[in-house]
Amino acid sequence: MINKIATLLLVITISSCTQKSKDSTGQNAITNNVEKTLLSSGAPVNQINFIKRIDSNATNAIASNNEFDKKEKVKELYIDFRSFIKNNLKDKFSDWNARVLEIENGDAEHSGVLIYFYVSTSAVNALGQSVHFRSFVPSSSAELITTIRSLKVNGLVKISGNFEYSDPVMIKMQPTSGSTDIADIFNNPEFFVKIQDIKQIP
């Protein structure tokens, strides 16, 4: 699977059927539900802000005049989002809530494990929207490999690590849909990360 994945810098395309409603305060109602769900699960504030930015960017991209306007708008949203990851998150995350999605063996050229997570937010997943993380853990990381062996799919964990970049300015991310169109960056995004620690939550 490693060889099949291409890193994309994307712009978003979202169907009108995913249009999101506003509450009486003008805030995105789905974003508010996401925030409440994450807060109740004990997620850190910076994880909540990360999810809210993705949700807000997806919503803002919908409000475009035409495809060219949408592309230019999402470029601006991406630059702002990248700045948030670099300046606010310092390119890292600590004790973020997630669920284990899948665990795979590496291939002949990559001895280790591929592990996939998604953000455990019912408000997001109910809409078919989710935020994913994928990480390759080499066999040399013996302690982390031992922890991974004990994990169960869909198990709740806290993850810590760093965001990866494909070059100094491009966050390594892609849509989980497998789209190769650079129009899907905030549509179920998957982030390439380097996991440093995993803690199981009972």
| Cα→Cα distances 131→4, 61, 101, 149, 173, Å | 20, 17, 11, 23, 11
Cα separation, 136 vs 102, whole angstroms: 12
Q: How far apart are CA 75 and CA 80, in angstroms?
A: 9
Top pLDDT among 59 and 25 is at 59
Q: How far is Cα 142 from Cα 57, in angstroms, rounded to an integer?
A: 38
Model pLDDT, residue 122: 45
Q: What is the pTM of this model?
A: 0.78
Distances (CA, A) of 30 to 27, 86, 109: 9, 26, 42
Q: Among 30-34, 68-72, 118-122, 161-165, whose mean pLDDT is lowest?
A: 30-34
Length of the chain in terms of residues written: 202
**Confidence band of 179 (pLDDT split at 50, 70, 90):** low
Residue 5 has pLDDT above 50, yes or no: no
Cα angle: 76, vertex 32, 44; to 5 degrees: 80
pLDDT of residue 28: 52
Give the pair of three-digit tokens for residue 174: 């892609």
* Largest distance between two CA atoms of the chain: 55
Instruction: With a cut of 50, say whether residue 11 has pLDDT above it.
Output: no
H-helix or E-strand spanning residue 101: strand 92-105
